[in-house]
Amino acid sequence: MQEVLASPCEIHCISLPTPFPVGDVNVHLVKSEKLTLVDAGVKTIEAWNHFKNELAKLGYTPEDIDQVVITHHHPDHVGMLDYLSPELPVYGHRFNQPWITKNSSFFEHHDQFFYDLFSKLGVDGIILQKMNKLRKTLAYSCERSLSYEVKEGDTIPGLPGWTVLETPGHAQSHIALYHEGSRVLLGGDLLLGHISSNPLLEPPMDGEERPKTLLQYNESLRIIRDLQVKKVYPGHGNVIENASALITERLHKQEKRAEIVVDMLKEEPLTALQVCQKLFPLVYKKELVLTLSETLGQLDYLMEDDYIKMETVDGQWVFKTR
Ligand SMILES: [Zn+2]
Cα three-residue angle 177-65-194, rounded to 5 degrees: 45
| Residues with Cβ–ion distance below 5 A, ligand 1 | 74, 189
b/e burial code for range 170-201 (CB count within 10 A of at least 16 → b): bbbbbbbbbbeebbbbbbbbbbbeeeebbbbb
CA of 243 to the centre of ligand 1 (A): 18
CA of 321 to the centre of ligand 1 (A): 33
CA of 195 to the centre of ligand 1 (A): 12
CA of 25 to the centre of ligand 1 (A): 9
List pLDDT tens digits, range 229-246.
999 999 999 999 999 999
List pLDDT tens digits, range 118-174.
999 998 766 656 666 667 888 999 999 999 999 999 999 999 999 999 999 999 999
Determine the Cα–Cα distance for residues 283 and 15; give it in Å rounded to an integer: 27
Give the confidence band of 3 by pLDDT, cuts at 50, 70, 90. Answer: very low
Domains and CATH numbers, the chain: 10-253 (3.60.15.10)
Averaged pLDDT, 38-53: 98
